[in-house]
Structure 1
Amino acid sequence: MSAKKPGNLIIGQSGGATAVINASLVGAVEAALADQRIGGIYGMHHGIEGLLKEDIIDLGNQPNSVWSQLLHTPSAALGSCRYKLQEHDLERTIEILRRYDIHYMLYIGGNDSADTAHRLAGAARQSNYELQIISIPKTIDNDLPFTDHCPGYGSAARFLAQATQDSTMNTLSIPWHYPVKVIETMGRDAGWLTASAALGKRSESDAPHILLLPEKPFNEQSFLTQVEDIYKQLGFVIVVVAEAMRNEKGNALGSSGQAGMDAFHHPLLSGAAQYLVELVKRELKLRARFDKPGDLQRMSSTHISAPDRDEAYLVGKMGVHALLAGESDKMITLVRDAQAPYHCTTGLAALSEVANVQRLMPDEYLNASKTMVTQAFYDYALPLIGEPLIHHTQLEMTRIRS
């Protein structure tokens, strides 16, 4: 299809929502509204699943004020889904797009959403239907390949880094009550989000003291030894663990174990933090408790990173520009400038190389034991969380003697 031929655009959001996914929607809509080569601007209500139900929203007819407000609103305004397209869905999807004269599509999401977009691009080619599809990256897991980082990660990382420091203050107020605390983060097979909990750490004694990332299988004895050593030195221990942590046999930690599978056959896991708490209590005879921030790490509007929001807007905007330039079956990427100060431009990656591929943390970002991050990780991640974190002050415990 000619890049200059007018056509209707449809946009969808998919997968786990983030604090800045709506910024990508705003960037895309505002870019589309500004270009006469785009006809109608539609939204899928609850992603590809909504499109299959023909649950379609008119985005071009929204009040003008909604976009500036939505820029700062967490979660997925269009509604999200975790639906894997079946073979019989492909033909129906193309038929629906044809009926609504939709020739441009943006799908905002992570690995699985890239797979959906790639399969639809292939189905359109097979059907000889003129359709251009661009994937807009989004995931707090930060595990998409070919992009420096993923929109959504910076804000979630900021939340976890600050939450770890804040929660540690409670432990410090009465360390003998629960001297061991375990904080459980989201994250499937990559440890980017768990690692971000260390971004407020300024010295070796600062929390967190142990990171348990999926990149290294859990060894019970090594963990217990490390906890015991830190406890003897500091009197308290803060551990941060990925919810998808597995042992050396590949089994998920936690008595509750696997709680089923999602539509893309990813295991639904729970119980890692509780497992570690029970292990410490049983083997080390230390009182322990856990914190599970859950959806707060995705949704905290008070912890939105300004660079994260700006880049989420940028990739949405550039998605429209890519469509109008004739691109298809690609994902927008963020490309970090090599020179300071921190700045990103955008590029493109083929969806055939992105779909269902995960990027794990590189070895240079982790210490030898893979239980703490290195300076290279701080250099990489700190620019993504925006303004400096709040660092708390403690009294100097100078005792008065009679």
Structure 2
Amino acid sequence: MSEAAPHLDLVGPPPTSAGTAPDLSIETLGPGRIVSPLEPLLHARRTSEHYVDEDDRVLLDDTVAGIAARGGRLEDLPGMEPCGPRRSIFFDPSKTRAGIVTCGGLCPGLNDVIAGLVRSLTYHYKVRRVIGFRNGYQGFVPAYGHDVVELTPDSVRDIPVDGGTVLGTSRGHQDPEEIVDCLENTHVNVLFVVGGDGSMRGAMEIARVVRERGLRIAVVGIPKTIDNDIPYIDQSFGFQTAFVLASDAIRAARVEAKSTANGVGLVKLMGRHSGFIACYAALARSDADVVLIPEVPFALEGDGGLLAHVRRRVAERGHAVVVVAEGAGQDLVATGPTVADASGNARLTDIGPYLRRRIVDDFEAAGIETAVRYIDPSYAIRSVPANPYDSVYCTRLSQAAVHAAMSGRTAMVVGRYRRRFVHIPMRLAVSRRNQVDPHGDLWMSVLESTGQPPQLA
């Protein structure tokens, strides 16, 4: 049966109004009254091209049009707190105990973040005890029986050479009351949560319970998402490693497709709601003939649909390569009610095998012999160590998180925005998804690289 071509409303410029500015204020446990051990490094520093002073702000808007749309006075323009050490801190390092937990799916760089947190706490602030909670939020709950891990610079020195997380991970909700009970029992007053949007929602609940009990416990997040779908962050850690390895899968698909008559390479990559990995991997190799992402709907049937486009490319070049993000085309493959996983995310129907079958059937119906080589490198990519770029990024994020926590900031995450490291309220980090803009320059670059039409409909 032929699918009706979906309505694609992608024509026309995006709105120019800046809209209502989000609340960028950061919650604190109280004023800093203790001279920071890093104060000597900050004595003569001022805002420059390469540094933002703690009393300055990083503007939310970076275009004249965006700033003009806000109106008002310069001091009223929305801006974010910069990351970095403060001259005065809230916690006395000699009496501080820190905890670290990693949650959700694997991502390159998790061990780099753990090691960076431990080194910064120990070497820079002389915090005497850092513990790790095993297997995500389960590690706080007595019923699971997981012990804690003592973390020292010696014990984390070599963990970045391995993928995954030395602390283990898990998905799913746990009672924030039990988690805060555990924090009190272990005398932890600084908690670092490394995880995605579900984990950050859990961290917000932990911070809420801490607030309701009148406790002085900082909860700071280092956002983790291999899909790069967290808003107000340029790129999440592990993303660069992921798209570099994904580009190798595209190259392999091209080699396979070129080695057979009328060959088609089909690569499925990560990206439940956001197609960043598919876009960047395709641009890195320029081997893809079409890229399919969740943000841009497409049709299979019809002269302007995907199947006809692939056949034309094979006729013109002798082969074709299709790159599809895992969340693309879900409207074509949905078979029943949506089912959620342990993290509350909707379970996706596997678009890869479905497209492979449809491409094979289409070529057979046209009387054309073909071989479709299907590659899904997702789990192999998630489990590898971070590349050097991501390792550096993880180190800088972990340092920023430690500085924020020691200064008494809480219910916030660290990230890089407009190339500056900033503090972001947790509520904003989970307020929406960062997605590829069909009107933006990234998608335009993909269309230029692949030569595919703007609409496969």
Alignment TM-score > 0.5, same fold: yes
Residue of structure 1 aligned with 2:108, choices 1, 19, 34: 19
Residue of structure 1 aligned with 2:318, choices 232, 235, 238: 235
Question: 1:101 Cα deviation (Å)?
Answer: 0.9
1:247-266, aligned counterparts within 5 Å? 247=330, 250=331, 252=333, 260-266=339-345
Residue of structure 1 aligned with 2:232, choices 142, 146, 149: 146
Residue of structure 2 aligned with 1:331, choices 397, 410, 413: 413
| CA distance in structure 1 between the partners assigned to 2:158 and 2:195 by the alignment | 21
Q: Structure 1 residues 58 and 279, CA, compared in 2 at 3 Å: closer, same or farther? A: closer
Question: 1:34 Cα deviation (Å)?
Answer: 1.6
| CA distance in structure 1 between the partners assigned to 2:266 and 2:245 by the alignment | 16
What SS does the aligned partner of 1:58 have?
A: strand
Determine if the alignment matches structure 1 residue 190 to structure 2 residue 274.
Answer: yes
Residue 244 (structure 1) aligns with: 327
What SS does the aligned partner of 1:42 have?
A: strand
Structure 1 residues not aligned, in runs of 5+ = 338-344, 376-402
| CA distance in structure 2 between the partners assigned to 1:131 and 1:261 by the alignment | 32
Q: Would you say the 8 A contact 2:177–2:206 is kept in 1? A: no
Aligned AA for 1:364? G
Residue 99 (structure 2) aligns with: 10
| CA distance in structure 1 between the partners assigned to 2:431 and 2:134 by the alignment | 24
Residue of structure 1 aligned with 2:440, choices 364, 371, 386: 364
1:299-310, aligned counterparts within 5 Å? 299-301=383-385, 304-310=386-392
What SS does the aligned partner of 2:161 have?
A: coil
Determine if the alignment matches structure 1 residue 208 to structure 2 residue 318.
Answer: no
Determine if the alignment matches structure 1 residue 312 to structure 2 residue 399.
Answer: no
Q: Would you say the 8 A contact 1:106–1:136 is kept in 2? A: yes
| CA distance in structure 1 between the partners assigned to 2:448 and 2:210 by the alignment | 46
Determine if the alignment matches structure 1 residue 50 to structure 2 residue 125.
Answer: no
Return structure 1 stretches of 4+ with deviation > 4 angstroms.
Answer: 257-260
Residue 38 (structure 2) aligns with: none
Q: Would you say the 8 A contact 1:365–1:374 is kept in 2? A: no
What SS does the aligned partner of 1:123 have?
A: helix
Deviates more, 1:323-332 or 1:292-301: 292-301
| CA distance in structure 1 between the partners assigned to 2:447 and 2:387 by the alignment | 21
Q: Would you say the 8 A contact 1:212–1:245 is kept in 2? A: yes
| CA distance in structure 1 between the partners assigned to 2:153 and 2:435 by the alignment | 42
Aligned AA for 1:193? I
Determine if the alignment matches structure 1 residue 161 to structure 2 residue 247.
Answer: yes
What SS does the aligned partner of 1:267 have?
A: coil
Q: Would you say the 8 A contact 1:104–1:132 is kept in 2? A: yes
Q: Tell me the percent identity.
A: 21
Residue of structure 1 aligned with 2:201, choices 115, 118, 133: 115
Q: What are the superposed Cα offsets for residues 185-235 of structure 1, whole Å, 9 maximum, x if unpaired?
A: 122111011112213334xxxx21111100012311211121122111111
Residue of structure 2 aligned with 1:353, choices 422, 428, 431: 428
| CA distance in structure 1 between the partners assigned to 2:326 and 2:248 by the alignment | 19
| CA distance in structure 2 between the partners assigned to 1:182 and 1:289 by the alignment | 6
What SS does the aligned partner of 1:295 have?
A: helix
Q: How many residues align?
A: 349
Structure 2 residues not aligned, in runs of 5+ = 1-28, 33-89, 365-369, 450-457
Q: Structure 1 residues 373 and 320, CA, compared in 2 at 3 Å: closer, same or farther? A: farther
Determine if the alignment matches structure 1 residue 279 to structure 2 residue 358.
Answer: yes
Deviates more, 1:126-135 or 1:328-337: 328-337
Q: Would you say the 8 A contact 2:274–2:294 is kept in 1? A: yes
| CA distance in structure 2 between the partners assigned to 1:35 and 1:214 by the alignment | 43
Q: Structure 1 residues 154 and 367, CA, compared in 2 at 3 Å: closer, same or farther? A: closer
Residue of structure 1 aligned with 2:165, choices 69, 76, 95: 76
Q: Would you say the 8 A contact 2:261–2:371 is kept in 1? A: no
1:372-383, aligned counterparts within 5 Å? 372-373=446-447
Q: What are the superposed Cα offsets for residues 15-52 of structure 1, whole Å, 9 maximum, x if unpaired?
A: 11112111011110101112456342111101111112
Q: Would you say the 8 A contact 1:28–1:316 is kept in 2? A: yes
Aligned AA for 1:231? V
Aligned AA for 1:4? F
Question: 1:305 Cα deviation (Å)?
Answer: 2.7
Determine if the alignment matches structure 1 residue 128 to structure 2 residue 214.
Answer: yes
What SS does the aligned partner of 1:261 have?
A: coil
Q: Structure 1 residues 305 and 175, CA, compared in 2 at 3 Å: closer, same or farther? A: farther
Q: TM-score, normalised by structure 2?
A: 0.71
Residue 384 (structure 1) aligns with: none
Q: Would you say the 8 A contact 1:261–1:268 is kept in 2? A: yes
What SS does the aligned partner of 2:440 have?
A: helix
| CA distance in structure 2 between the partners assigned to 1:245 and 1:365 by the alignment | 20
| CA distance in structure 2 between the partners assigned to 1:12 and 1:367 by the alignment | 35
Determine if the alignment matches structure 1 residue 288 to structure 2 residue 385.
Answer: no
Q: TM-score, normalised by structure 1?
A: 0.81
Question: 1:259 Cα deviation (Å)?
Answer: 9.1
Aligned AA for 1:349? I
Residue 403 (structure 2) aligns with: 321
Residue 96 (structure 1) aligns with: 182
Question: 1:121 Cα deviation (Å)?
Answer: 0.7
Residue of structure 2 aligned with 1:223, choices 286, 306, 314: 306
| CA distance in structure 1 between the partners assigned to 2:256 and 2:363 by the alignment | 22
Question: 1:167 Cα deviation (Å)?
Answer: 3.0
Question: 1:55 Cα deviation (Å)?
Answer: 2.5
Q: Would you say the 8 A contact 1:134–1:331 is kept in 2? A: yes
